[in-house]
Structure formats: C-alpha cells, structure tokens
Structure 1
Amino acid sequence: MAIMVSFLCLVLMFSLVSIGDSLSLNYYEKTCPHVDFIVAKAVKEATSKDKTVPAALLRMHFHDCFIRGCDASVLLNSKGKNQAEKDGPPNISLHAFYVIDNAKKAVEASCPGVVSCADILALAARDAVFLSGGPGWDVPKGRKDGRTSKASESIQLPAPTFNISQLKQSFSQRGLSMEDLVALSGGHTLGFSHCSSFRNRIHNFDAKHDVDPSMNPSFAAKLKSICPLKNQPKNAGTTMDPSPTTFDNTYYKLILQGKSLFSSDQALLTTPKTKNLVSEFATSKDAFYKAFVKSMIKMSNINGGQEIRKDCRVVN
C-alpha cells in the first residue's frame, strides 16, 4: 500500500503542464477509479522479479509515442503478411510486453472494456520511473488504441547515431522542443545497450579516427574490449550508466565526461542551448526531474487511436 500512498503524495509535488482537450486526469473517475493502483501493482510485481522491467517499459512507451502517437500500436502482434512495429529493427530488443498483458488482464477484471492499452502503457511508464527512484506524476488519461502497426514505420524512431539537427527535426515533428529532447534523453539513465547502437563510435569512426575523438579514451578502450570488431559475443553490450536500475541524473554527468554511449547523447553538447541544459541537469537532479515530468506529459499527449482493445496484442 505504501507505493500507492507515495504516488498520491508525489502527484502534489509536481506542477502539471496543460493537458489538451482530449485527455484528463479524472477520465476514469467513475468508470474505473482504481486503474492507477491496478497497473502499479502489476508493474511492481514484475519489477520485484526482474530489475530490467522498468527500463523496458519506459523505452516501450517512447517507441510507441514516436510512431502514430501514444496509441499502443507497439503492442500489436504481426499478423499474416503485415509485420507489426514490434518486429521492426529498432524494436526487436523491446521486451516485458507480458507486464502490460498482466496489467490489462487485471484492469479488465475490475472494469471490462473501459481502459485503453495506450493508457495502461502510459501509466506503466510512469510507474517504471517511480519504482526506479525517479519522480512520480499524475498521468492524463483518455487515449484510444490504434488499429495500424507497421514495422516499416519504426524507421521513424530517432536513432542512436543521430546528430543534433536530426534529433531536433525528429522531436519538432512531434511538437517537442529542444528542452523536451534533452529531458527525455535522460531516460537513458536506465537499462542496457547492445554493441550495435554505439559501434559507430569505437570502430572506423571516420577517415581520420578509429574512435570518436569526443569519447573519453579509457571509456572507449573498455567499450572496444566488450565489443571487438571481430568475434563479438552474441548479445554483447553494456549498461547505459553505472546505476542502470536507478533513475537519476548520472547520464548527464557522463555526457560531460565524454562517457556517454550514443552519438545522439554526445550530440547534446553540440549546441549552446542543449549543452546548457545538460549542465543544468547534471548539477541539479530536481531540475532534471521537473523537466522530465513536464516533457513526459507533453509527449504522452500525442494520440491517434480509435478503439479500446480487449487484448493489447490484437485489434478488436
């Protein structure tokens, strides 16, 4: 019960941004008043058995929202000739879909046919952050689930190799600012990355350098030993930061030390505005948390669904 009380206390600590016309904080007040608690319980139970669950759920929500909005299209299974988003190259490593299935099952038992899978995923992402020691916030609800999911569209996700102009374009197309970009990138404080996402920085970087010169040399050497050019172990990689199950501001400190994994992380130092934000968030965990909450609410307002799915993996 402590987690539930903590959620409610934390809600009061963070100011909400405007939440648009379609979503509201009390959307299920009469139809499914305990939805927040039901989803939190499912996420907490899964996390107690597998510490990688929070990182997986947060990433899943990002990857959902950046394609067709936050409509749970990332949860749909491929069917017949249609390859769904989850089978697109950037999404192959997504996991913990069962946690959303478990939450949906519990929600359906309490209030059938009322709560969308998209809302459950948005709530689960919030719970994932909170259970990892990060901030809590009240999630605006009322999303609908999409009926379309195409693996080919997963190419629209911002790639770890992106430079700052590519990142800016990707985020601005979704109504997200440079501050949103820097704040949401802080999600990289959780989880694990395979070598394929940062290999470009440690082997054959450019005509003059084998290794990205912006990378700390000893850090680069360590990554090279984990991810050799030849005979690389299957599924080799490394944690996103030294505390991969704790939601903190270590990510920003590492960027300033030249110890970030992705080109897209290091790119945040290449404009004065984004560099200043990185420095601010590295210095103040509170400033990062407030910005992250604001940007998460903003991102999760992007919606384009049509129905309330009975099963999160298939359209009605």
Structure 2
Amino acid sequence: MKISDIILIFFFVLLPYAFADLKVGFYGRSCPSAETIVRRAVQRRFKRDRAITADLLQMHFHDCFVRGCDGSLLIDPSRGRGSEKQAGPNVNLDGFDLIDEIKSVLEKACPSTVSCADIVTLATRDAVALAGGPRYNVPTGRRDGLVSNPNEVNLPGPSLSVTHAFQSFREKGFLLQEMVTLLGAHTVGFTHCSLVQSRLSSFGNRDPTMDLALDAKLGRICGSTRRPARNDPQIVLDQNTSFVFDNEYYRQIGNKRGVLHIDQQLALDASTRRTVAGFAANGESFKRSFASAMIKMGSLDVLVGNAGEIRKNCRVFNNH
C-alpha cells in the first residue's frame, strides 16, 4: 500500500471525530431527496455550461474563507446594508442563480430544512465530479450565517508570492501541500486580463517566468498598453484541457505556462515545486488529495446546532 493511500485512509478514519458537528447524510431523515435534488440541478446546468464547475469552486472558496462556510457570500446588498458580494474579489462571481434554483426546489420539498451553505458545498462537489474530478462524500449540517460584511473580505490575491499566499491558508489551518492542492482547482478556472497584464510584454512588463508563446497568446487576447482589449476579457487558467478536472494545470505550470503569478510560482518555489511535480506525474494522487482538502475546507468555522439560521431565500436573511 502506498504512503498516500495510508494517509488518506487515516484521514477518513478520523473524519467522524474531526467533523463531529457535521455528518454525511445529515438530511437522510429530514429531507431524503436533498442531495439528489442538488445533483440533478447541477447536472442540468453542466450540460449547457461547463464553466459552472469553476463558478461553484470559486464561490465555495470565497464563502468559506470569510466567516467560514456559512453562505454569507450569497447575501445581496440592500439599502443601508452592504454584503460580501460587493467586495472586489467577488464582483465577477457567477452561479448564484443556480443556488437560487436549487433552493427553490428544496423549499418546496422540505421547507426550512436545507441550508444555503450546504447547497453550495454539495453543488460544488457534484460539479467537480461531472468535470472528471474525484467523487467524494461531504458531511452536511451547516447552518447559514447572519452577517455579510464586505469589509471582512480579505482573500489571498493572484499576485502574491507562495510565502505570502500560504500565510492566508495557514491561518485557516491548512498545510502548504493542501494549499498547492486547492489551487489545483485552477485546472478548470479562469481569470481576467486585468489580473494578468502586469506579466505581459505587450503591457511593457515581460515576465521571464512565462513561456514566450503564452505571453504572445495572452497579448493577442488582452491587447497592449496603447490598445487594451475592451471589457476585460476572460482567460482560462488551464490552456489545454480548460473544462476538464485533471492534473494538466500542474503540467502547464511546470512548463512555464502558468497564467497567474501565484500559479507559476508554485512550480518555481523550492517549498512547493516537488508537490507540483508529483501531481503533474500522478493525476490520481492529486484527485485524492483534492477530495481531502475540499472536505477540510468545507468544515471551516461552520455554524451548527441552533447557531445561525436556515434561510428560506439564500439572498436575504430571514429577518430582512
């Protein structure tokens, strides 16, 4: 048996203890059809829009890293009250309409039972599997938060060094290898030209760590200092298998084809390059590690028991 397999088994043996307040199959009695409803809705969306995997992964990450996985990101701003959606890192997020669709069906099947936080977690898990990623069970039982403050949004940015990015992950209890693993979600991710221009020669900022062909390609998409592209075009982070959840991301950054600065630095930094090379060589190892890291992320500072609430509408607090 491989060491990685032993570690994974050890992780799942300890899972009931690590996440004692959450439970796989939490809705088994209160709403037996809950996970089926979520899965079918995600399947329908995925058939017409494969980018939904990236949308949900980004939504899940941005929610869990601020106040924990409590659905606070889903709240709409209202008169006199801001929300996390207004913060810079969240203004381009998509996929909220899918969460609304799922919640609407669940409210008819099981009123005031399934939290919005659990919907995001389950939908993300299902979208990853549909894209070719790992299939894994996630414990549920989260409740929805009662605060959504744009001033609390402080996410690690794409221009950070490995050291500075890890500071944010370490504060959440993640190991360095888990950060490298979670950033592997970029295998189906995307960004915008405004976050890449600082690395492109067409904007006078030639980054020697970027492959010349990729630099030229991105320059054609994003334009130049004198004539930047309109509407801040979207760029896929995996230039090969853009909508497939595989280990191609690690192969790409190993060949200097990382689109974002932090992606490329993972393959260059002495503390992370061996993990990158290992995942590039073994896709199954990456997928197993990713499943474990996602389950751990989904447990961050969750509200359980009588804390928080079960929202009837994911966009507003029940007492709005």
Q: TM-score when scaled to structure 1? A: 0.90
Distance in 1, Cα, partners of 2:145 & 2:205: 44
Task: Measure how far apart 1:237 and its partner are.
Answer: 3.2
- The gaps in structure 2 that reach 5 residues or longer are 1-8
Distance in 2, Cα, partners of 1:293 & 1:175: 16
1:187 paired residue number = 185
Give the letter aligned to residue 178 of structure 1. L
* CA offsets 1:214-236 (integer angstroms, 9 cap, x no match): 11112112112211223322131
Distance in 1, Cα, partners of 2:309 & 2:120: 15
SS of alignment partner, residue 26 of structure 1: coil
Distance in 2, Cα, partners of 1:28 & 1:213: 52
2:20 paired residue number = 21
Task: Measure how far apart 1:268 and its partner are.
Answer: 1.1
Quick check: 1:235 aligned with 2:232? yes
Task: Measure how far apart 1:88 and its partner are.
Answer: 1.2
2:301 paired residue number = 303
* CA offsets 1:106-137 (integer angstroms, 9 cap, x no match): 11122111111000100000011011111110
2:214 paired residue number = 219
Alpha-carbon RMSD across the aligned residues, in angstroms, is 1.9
Distance in 1, Cα, partners of 2:147 & 2:138: 24
Distance in 1, Cα, partners of 2:287 & 2:129: 11
Q: 1:161–1:200: 8 Å Cα contact kept in structure 2? A: no
Q: 2:57–2:185: 8 Å Cα contact kept in structure 1? A: yes
Task: Measure how far apart 1:299 and its partner are.
Answer: 0.6
Distance in 2, Cα, partners of 1:83 & 1:230: 36
Task: Measure how far apart 1:29 and its partner are.
Answer: 1.7
Distance in 2, Cα, partners of 1:182 & 1:192: 17
Distance in 2, Cα, partners of 1:41 & 1:96: 15
1:76 paired residue number = 75
1:152 paired residue number = 151
1:92–1:230 CA distance, 2 compared to 1 (3 A): farther
Quick check: 1:201 aligned with 2:199? yes
Distance in 1, Cα, partners of 2:48 & 2:77: 28
1:175–1:15 CA distance, 2 compared to 1 (3 A): closer
The alignment of Structure 1 onto Structure 2 pairs a total of residues equal to 300
Distance in 1, Cα, partners of 2:289 & 2:202: 36
1:133 paired residue number = 132
Task: Measure how far apart 1:81 and its partner are.
Answer: 2.6
Give the letter aligned to residue 316 of structure 2. V
1:96 paired residue number = 95
1:110 paired residue number = 109
Q: 2:22–2:141: 8 Å Cα contact kept in structure 1? A: yes
* CA offsets 1:35-91 (integer angstroms, 9 cap, x no match): 111100111111222222121111110111111111111100001132211121111
Task: Measure how far apart 1:193 and its partner are.
Answer: 1.6
Distance in 1, Cα, partners of 2:98 & 2:231: 26
The share of aligned pairs that are identical, in percent, is 39
1:178 paired residue number = 176
Distance in 1, Cα, partners of 2:253 & 2:23: 36
2:259 paired residue number = 261
Distance in 2, Cα, partners of 1:119 & 1:69: 12
SS of alignment partner, residue 238 of structure 1: strand
Q: 1:61–1:121: 8 Å Cα contact kept in structure 2? A: yes
Distance in 2, Cα, partners of 1:253 & 1:171: 23
Distance in 1, Cα, partners of 2:293 & 2:141: 18
Deviates more, 1:253-262 or 1:236-245: 236-245
1:164 paired residue number = 162
Distance in 1, Cα, partners of 2:217 & 2:136: 37
Task: Measure how far apart 1:32 and its partner are.
Answer: 1.3
SS of alignment partner, residue 272 of structure 1: coil
* CA offsets 1:176-224 (integer angstroms, 9 cap, x no match): 111110000010011322101222211599xxx8311111112112112
Distance in 1, Cα, partners of 2:133 & 2:111: 31
SS of alignment partner, residue 235 of structure 2: strand
1:67 paired residue number = 66
Distance in 2, Cα, partners of 1:68 & 1:117: 15
Distance in 1, Cα, partners of 2:26 & 2:178: 25
2:242 paired residue number = 244
SS of alignment partner, residue 272 of structure 2: helix
* CA offsets 1:19-41 (integer angstroms, 9 cap, x no match): 42211113212111221111001
